[in-house]
């Protein structure tokens, strides 16, 4: 079971699904099937997976259908392309900031080990670029944080969009190295920026890897850059 499915094992907002599927061919019939699949009384003898995951399955299917529909309707205008480029550049900035922090952490931990603090030996350091619409506390973001937005955030596994880590005896990897960037492919060969600079692994997976993200193109280009932040974890 995809770990992210457990994160969206929450009651469905049927009004949101009704508004969406009424504009999709065969959507209302599909919606009825979804509702029937969740028609089960809560039973303490029924395992979690047999009850809440019914909602998770429905929520996933809605988010997947929504993503597919919105992506099919999406147009890569100059404005949208510019937003995507700014996002790619922002991710690169965060990745380099993380790399600099890794270098600093390595220096400090190696220094402690050299002084005889052996508890720090075999350390492992991980970093993560995360996104939270409510990271900015204002009315605008509170209005945006509706049920689909919450489900998209619950489902997204930002940690797996790209893996940032190093351990004792290893050097942190500079994100500017060529092997940390995907070369342009497919439709991205039509855009000079991506032909010249490639695309960050993080952004590529955010757009195309539905096991970790169900954001649509329109969701992604409208992400608020201020809502991205860095997390670190040191394991001894």
Predicted confidence (pLDDT) per residue in 103-125, tens digit: 999 999 999 999 999 999 999 99
Q: State the DSSP string of 191-206.
A: -HHHHHH-EEHHHHHH
Pair of tokens at residue 216 = 């649509």
122 SS3 class: coil
**Dihedral (Cα; 14, 15, 20, 23), 10-degree rounding:** 110
E strand or H helix that includes residue 17: helix 14-21
> How far is 60 from 152, CA to CA, in rounded Å?
9
Within 22-77, residue ranges assigned H as helices are: 27-37, 48-73
Report DSSP state, residue 46: S
How far is residue 74's CA from residue 63's CA, in Å, rounded to a whole number? 16
What confidence tens digit (pLDDT) does each residue in 5-27 have? 889 999 999 999 999 999 999 99
Could you tell me if residue 234 is left (phi over 0), alpha (psi between -120 and 50 degrees) or otherwise beta? beta
Of the chain, the percentage scoring pLDDT greater than 70 comes to 92
For residue 136, is pLDDT > 80? Answer: no
Alpha-carbon torsion angle 212, 216, 222, 227, nearest 10? -20
- How many C-beta atoms surround the C-beta of residue 158 within 10 A? 19
Strand partners, 232: 127
**Cβ-based neighbours of 32, under 8 Å, separated by 6 or more:** none
Instruction: Name the DSSP letter for residue 190.
Output: G
Please tell me the distance from the alpha carbon of residue 3 to that of residue 21, in angstroms, as a whole number: 26
The tens digit of pLDDT for each residue in 137-187 reads 767 666 667 899 999 999 999 988 888 999 999 999 999 988 889 999 999
Tokens of 1: 């079971």
Two structure tokens written together for 178: 């060529």
């Amino acid at each position: 079971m995809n770990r992210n499915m457990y994160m969206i094992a929450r009651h469905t907002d049927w009004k949101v699904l009704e508004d969406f599927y009424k504009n999709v061919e065969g959507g209302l019939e599909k919606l009825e099937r979804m509702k029937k699949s969740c028609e089960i009384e809560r039973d303490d003898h029924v395992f979690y997976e047999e009850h809440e995951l019914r909602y998770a399955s429905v929520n996933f299917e809605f988010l997947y259908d929504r993503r597919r529909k919105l992506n099919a309707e999406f147009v890569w205008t100059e404005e949208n392309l510019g937003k995507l480029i700014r996002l790619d550049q922002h991710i690169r900035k965060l990745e380099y900031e993380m790399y600099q922090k890794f270098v600093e952490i390595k220096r400090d931990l190696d220094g402690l080990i050299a002084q005889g603090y052996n508890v720090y030996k075999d350390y492992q350091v991980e970093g993560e670029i995360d996104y939270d619409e409510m990271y900015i506390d204002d009315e605008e973001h509170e209005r945006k944080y509706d049920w689909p937005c919450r489900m998209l955030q619950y489902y997204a596994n930002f940690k797996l969009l790209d893996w940032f880590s190093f351990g004792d005896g290893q050097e942190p990897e500079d994100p500017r190295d060529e092997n940390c960037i995907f070369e342009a492919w497919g439709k991205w060969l039509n855009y000079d920026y991506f032909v010249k600079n490639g695309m960050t692994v993080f952004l590529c997976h955010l757009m195309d890897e539905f096991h970790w993200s169900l954001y649509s193109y329109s969701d992604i280009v409208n992400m608020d850059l201020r809502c991205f932040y860095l997390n670190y974890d040191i394991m001894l």
